[in-house]
Structure 1
């Protein structure tokens, strides 16, 4: 049996070496050399803006997994075009598993209020009603439309905040902010509600979708219906700050467990200019399609969940550097003014 060609964009995990012929898109020869040496995978040194390379790589792939950038429509279009070329040449429909995010569900609460609205992935109409110029929606729409047209088999995974050692963006930023201010802080009133998922549970969902994509009789919703939420943890931003303060104070690294609001200057320094979006919005989702597919998350509320990861994330922050600047979530993210 011939190997299945798998093109990974923005990923460097291991796969079944006997089953898959894996190629990884990676920026920088130094990182690519490590992946070749440590994991034995093929690499393409480029980024999503290198259209010709992306089209050619996708054209040679049975499956593409894109976890690099949820807001790079040009790169997503290049992947779709390559997979369409493959279909035209071989008559076979290839699959595209795309990592988006529940940033697409956010409002403009700016830390001031909680919204009880919860999206679920069976209510596709509510997801599609989000304007195409809002966060992540340009890529999502392009990919799902191609899937609906039958050009590809598309699956769009929409994780909330991802946690697990070295994978979170928001938790380390909050920890660094706490270390600088001497106590855990939240954005303004900290009242909005969000969700989270452990990176391993998210990975397991991708593997389930990969198995479905390669099945002779795929069962999972795809195309216009192929959206997948995967929230396992529920929290309020103020609650998260309180848990962070309590745990890091007990760990001996904060002088107090008490919390407060960031000042505007502190918020900008700790969270970046996009702090209101990333730390002051409501974004709530309910996973239905994933569970129907057989997804069984091992982490979540009350079971080695988000709050239990805080001390581990702190240790990673110390290793990585306490004074790093806030990481930007969206290099090519569209204007946030298009919704609500």
Structure 2
């Protein structure tokens, strides 16, 4: 009988997923891992195989394949799509099969996002409401209509039924240009979504923009810090599974600092002027026409989404980058966008936050 820990990862070509995969391959226990990834591109599958990843060509529309890959795994790391309810149901069916075959509940680490906390303030007000990932009673007050919430509830219910142990990682605004062997090989998307989208819109209009007055507050997290969170969570589960909260007690926020949209846009304006792409540093409000053009009519980035990562830090996560680093990351991000003429895909409201986790961003949104 194999003693390998079988890990199935989704979103391996994505911003977060590729970063997590790289860490799994550099983990002290990597020799005991058997890692499988599902990717849409046969060419990228061959590329991952060269790095020792069992890459299977397929997509979330291949229901039986997705279920079978999940059923074969001891650990699922789902980083592909925070809002694909049907895919979540399919994978959870696979986890149930695994439990029925072994009598042991497998591990299911799902990626959500702090967009679930969004209050739709449209940039016009801040909030004093701060959500604590270590307070499940508070989190249960979130409405079922909140972004990502329907999938989160499905994942939590599966844990409640006892056939799988589920853990939900909820990253904030993730920033920084990803790097590593998968990026170098052209297999992984290296860009986030929110900041590049704001940059692209501001460059196109010739001045930094914001939603409303930009006084809304969001948390932020560096790409390397949030990728570390997945590994710290895995390590804690393996070391003492009964001591690590799961199900309704299994939220882990990925955040380490806060910013207002105005602060981000003001720094963006400064950078654009310094690079000769704008004549005015002060950001202005996106018009309705511009919101329609650049964000598909969504004021998503104008909402408040405030949280505390007490639960994440309790299992040993130690993020090092702060809001100062976040603001400093804007200049190199602008330079990269200008150098490559990188364009984010047209966004729709529920997609705005989670797409940075997904392989869907590769090649302008249709590779993975």
TM-score (norm 1): 0.90
Aligned equivalent of 2:264 = 240
Q: Pick from 315, 334, 337: which aligns with 1:317?
A: 337
Which runs of structure 2 are paired with 1:1-340 in the superposition (5 Å)? 2-11=3-12, 12=18, 13-14=21-22, 15-16=24-25, 17-37=30-50, 39-165=51-177, 166-215=190-239, 217-274=241-298, 276-277=299-300, 279-302=301-324, 305-322=325-342, 324-328=344-348, 330=350
Q: CA offset at residue 90 of structure 1?
A: 0.9
Q: CA offset at residue 331 of structure 1?
A: 5.6
Alpha-carbon separation, structure 2, partners of 1:191 and 1:85: 48
Alpha-carbon separation, structure 1, partners of 2:341 and 2:204: 13
CA distance 1:325–1:217, change in 2 (3 Å): closer
Alpha-carbon separation, structure 1, partners of 2:126 and 2:89: 36
Greater shift, 185-194 or 59-68, is seen at 185-194
Alpha-carbon separation, structure 1, partners of 2:90 and 2:345: 32
Alpha-carbon separation, structure 2, partners of 1:322 and 1:268: 20
Paired positions, count: 328
Contact 2:259 2:323 survives alignment (8 Å) = no
CA distance 1:149–1:324, change in 2 (3 Å): closer
- Residues 111-164 of structure 1: CA deviation (Å, up to 9, x unaligned): 211112110012212222222233111111111121133211111011111111
Q: CA offset at residue 249 of structure 1?
A: 2.2
In the alignment, structure 2 segments of 5+ residues that lack a partner are 13-17, 178-189, 354-368
CA distance 1:197–1:245, change in 2 (3 Å): same
Alpha-carbon separation, structure 1, partners of 2:59 and 2:350: 15
Contact 2:337 2:343 survives alignment (8 Å) = no
In the alignment, structure 1 segments of 5+ residues that lack a partner are 334-340
Alpha-carbon separation, structure 2, partners of 1:85 and 1:126: 32
Q: CA offset at residue 251 of structure 1?
A: 3.8
- Residues 10-48 of structure 1: CA deviation (Å, up to 9, x unaligned): 1232233412100001122232222223x2211122222
Once superposed, what is the RMSD of the aligned Cα atoms? Answer: 2.0
Aligned equivalent of 1:336 = none
CA distance 1:100–1:295, change in 2 (3 Å): same
Higher helix share: 2
> Higher RCO, 1 or 2 (CA under 8 Å, sep at least 6)?
2
For 1:18, what is the secondary structure of its paired residue? helix
TM-score (norm 2): 0.84
